[in-house]
Amino acid sequence: MRDLFSATHTENPIAAARRGVAPARPRRFYRVVTTAPVAEGHAVRLDNRPARTPARRVLAAPTLRLAQALAAEWAAQGEVIEPARMPLTRLANAVIDGVAGKPAPVAAEIAKYLSCDLLFYRANSPRGLVERQRRHWDPILAWAADALGARFVSTEGVIYVAQPQEALQAAADAIGGDPWRLGALHAATTLTGSALIALALAGGSLCVEDAWAAANVDEDWNMEQWGRDALALERRGHRLAELQAAAIVLRSPPA
């Protein structure tokens, strides 16, 4: 499995979860996928042997529900193992091998997005795009103000606008330090370009579909005006699957 989900300790842990598939796709080497309680929580077992991360750690989740979701990815594989179709496993590998040992840098990277979040910078035309951004983004800013006590400032254009320090701190305090939450928040943040979308997803204010729509307002508008590209749509499909995997972790009840 090292070759299936290769990652290194120096690599960004969430980047490792989102990297491309290895060129050689190995054949499925197991028949039965189960879960079992272990010290780390609940482990995935392949033919009653522990599945392992690229760093040879046990592939285990803190909750049974999450372990079962991981097991379902392995069970759904056909004759050939397709890592690209296992976004939750890739995210779990990144959390176990990377984030768990160094949570602080991951939290800091999420917090960096707050100072220049996607939701702050608005178009001034055309009217349809302006209205679409307002419809998708204003409720998230309102949620941040109400739920987090973080009141941010939005502007037209792309010129940097400094945000109130108290708002940045209030939102940063909501990031937390649990490795699984951090890994999923980081994935959602980088996939959407917005730490606030990620936090709203984690807080239950947004479902995956609404988070995805908010993250892709500009891209969707451009595709409607200029047409759709098949390769771009394929990449979007992979990114959406990764966001769905992050949401599974974020919505998993605590151990």
Q: What is the pLDDT of residues 97-110, one digit of tens each?
A: 999 999 999 999 99
DSSP state of 253: P
- Domain 13-99 belongs to what topology? ATP12-like (3.30.2180)
The CATH class, in words, for 103-251 is mainly alpha
Q: Could you count the other beta carbons within 10 Å of the beta carbon of residue 22?
A: 14
Q: What tokens appear for 179 in the block? A: 């490795």
| 13-99 and 103-251 agree in CATH topology | no
CB 11 within 8 A of CB 5: no
> What is the CB-side half-sphere exposure of residue 57 using CA atoms within 13 A?
21
Segment 201-210, tens digit of pLDDT: 999 999 999 9
Does 20 score more than 50 pLDDT? no
Please state, in angstroms and rounded to a whole number, the distance separating the CA atoms of residues 202 and 178: 13
pLDDT bracket for residue 253 (50, 70, 90):
confident
Please write the tens of the pLDDT for every residue from 123-155.
999 999 999 999 999 999 999 999 999 999 999
From the number of C-beta atoms within 10 Å of its C-beta (0-12, 13-18, 19+), residue 10 rates as exposed
pLDDT beyond 60 at 21: no
Q: What is the pTM of this model?
A: 0.88
User: 């979701």: which residue's tokens?
Assistant: 69
What does the pLDDT read at residue 231? Answer: 82
- pLDDT surpasses 50 at 56: yes
CA distance 179 to 110: 13
Domain residue ranges in the chain: 13-99, 103-251
